[in-house]
Amino acid sequence: MSSNTVCFRRDDMVVQEDDTEWPEAPPSIPQEEDRVECGCCFESCAFDSMVQCEDGHLFCTICLRRHVENSIFGDTSDGGSTLCLAITGCERIYPRSEIRKCFSHDVWLKYERRMAEEAVAKAQLAGLVYCYHCNHPWEVDPGIKILVCINQSCLKETCLECKEPSHLPDPCRSTEKDPEDTVRTQVEESMTKAVIRVCSSCGAELFKLEGCNKIMCRCGQQMCYRCRESITDYSHFCPHIRAPQVAPCEECSMCCLWETEDVNKVVKAAKSAAIEKLAERYPEVVRRQIGPSEDPVRKRPCKERVGMI
């Protein structure tokens, strides 16, 4: 027993108190010398919370999470890219085990799904069909009329002709649809196609809300929003200074970079063209009103409305 030990009796029990000074327990937060600077946000972070690319560049999980989330959910051309964030131009990627540290289970499943979608889009399969219930891609052989989705969260069967749930053994009656429904559907599809752009590389549908007419699909394909042609740089557009919405360029016929499309005008033109095309086959149906009236709503004077109350 050391000289610093004091003994006393309590309820017939011998208790020993030792006044020896023991070192303090290590703190839960790492000391400053144990912290590492993130190569993206330059914040000092604990080494255990860092992730590294295949070349050893260290970044915090927050920066990598934001980068990958932007590739998953954003309209970027990264395509779920996990390239290194180093400003030195490192072209190595982050291992899956490092990316997994940054996400919950649900977000990780969405990441894997996005990577699978990118792989399917780049393959450009001829018989590619998406399930109409869960949007899962499937490669269908020619002649197949029923899509059997084996996705465990779906497991539904769909007729590829009428896009409705499978009606086997009854034959598909898609050709016997009501003429009015047929005309309405085709007119609506024409109006939609007039404002939607389709990527020539992966087939994704694109719609621009604002910005210039040089757009980029998330697969990396660039195209002109005005003429829908695939492009590589800004040389496709008119280089002359002028007011885009006032008058066309007098020096060239190239597309304008900042010209804004009149969506309502384009939709009306597409609707008129579709109705004119269908008039020969469905003359009786075309004479009826399709969709809401394009004329402005006429309001009664206030006195007339008050008198009716």
Query: Which residues are tagged catalytic?
Result: 212
Distance CA 225, CA 197 (A): 7
**Contact between residue 215 and residue 223 where contact means Cβ atoms under 8 Å apart:** yes
Sign of dihedral through CA atoms 244, 245, 250, 253? positive
Q: What is the CA radius of gyration of the chain?
A: 33
Distance CA 136, CA 299 (A): 48
Residue 197 is which amino acid?
Answer: R
CA atoms within 13 A on the CB side of 181: 6
**Contact between residue 270 and residue 193 where contact means Cβ atoms under 8 Å apart:** yes
Residues in CB range of 124: below 8 A, 6 or more apart: 201, 202
- Other C-beta atoms closer than 10 Å to the C-beta of 291 total 10
CA angle 279, 284, 285 (to 5 degrees): 75
Distance CA 129, CA 125 (A): 9
